[in-house]
Amino acid sequence: MNIQKAVGKFCTKLKSLRLPKRKSPRCLQANRSRKRIVIAACCCLMTGMFAVAGINGWVMHSTTERILAPEQAAAADDYDCIIVLGCLVKDDGTPSDMLRDRLDRGIALYQQNVAPKILMSGDHGQPEYDEVNAMKQYAMDAGVPSEDIFMDHAGFSTYETMYRAKEVFGAERVLVVTQEYHLYRAVYIAQQLGMQADGVTSDYHSYYGQGKRDFREVLARCKDFVMCIAQPEPTYLGETVSLAGSGDITNDQIATAAQIP
């Protein structure tokens, strides 16, 4: 009797259990589609990460031997010009710490007779913001003659600076000055655009926010890698300017369609 009662209770409980509903074919197809999308997204992400890493590695590796110590650059002494790349100018018109270090290095190399001219390249697209005149004034205050300082008022980016250095100013062999994180890309662009280029770092100090700059530079190298393949013209070109003449020809200009360089 006890066995019969136990079996009866088990059967009653078994009947009361609800078996899970089978998913409809439409739900199963939706789940499969979601899985495919996730897998495809992961594959694209991994491919993109490998591409970014590969491009950055190539840009840095291909230019490492062109990054020189100041003494090595001084021994070459056959450059057309020293290109000092612009960056932030303070509200009072004086160079930021990073820009001042670039200028100090460029001036020191000029004083060692590494090149007969300095090309100051930066943003002067608006009257109220002027990197290049601040750069030139700083160099003149350090004793560099005005006629040996050229200004590129339309150096809105590293790519545009190098493009214009070759096509507007006729430079063929250049020495680029900027901080190390930036220098690999600058030298790479110059080489890809047909110039012989070396670089000297200007890292006299550490700089606040460098981690963010390093991250942005990874993306910038990828962008300019593509730019060097496509080689679009810069925002402005304008008439050619000979580095053999006086840099004063570039004085008091603003980078507009009507006034270039």
**Amino acid sitting at position 225:** F
Mean pLDDT across 69-96: 94
At residue 152, the 3 state secondary structure works out as strand
Q: What is the pLDDT of residue 111?
A: 97
Predicted local confidence at residue 10, as pLDDT: 53
Higher-pLDDT residue of 237, 163: 163
CA distance 163 to 198: 16
Residue 143 binned pLDDT confidence (cut-offs 50, 70, 90): very high
At 211, list the tokens: 């981690």
Global confidence as pTM: 0.83
Average pLDDT value for the chain: 89
In tens, the pLDDT along 17-49 reads 555 555 566 766 767 777 788 888 888 888 888
Cα distance between residue 139 and residue 135, in whole Å: 6
| Per-residue tokens: 38 | 């996730």
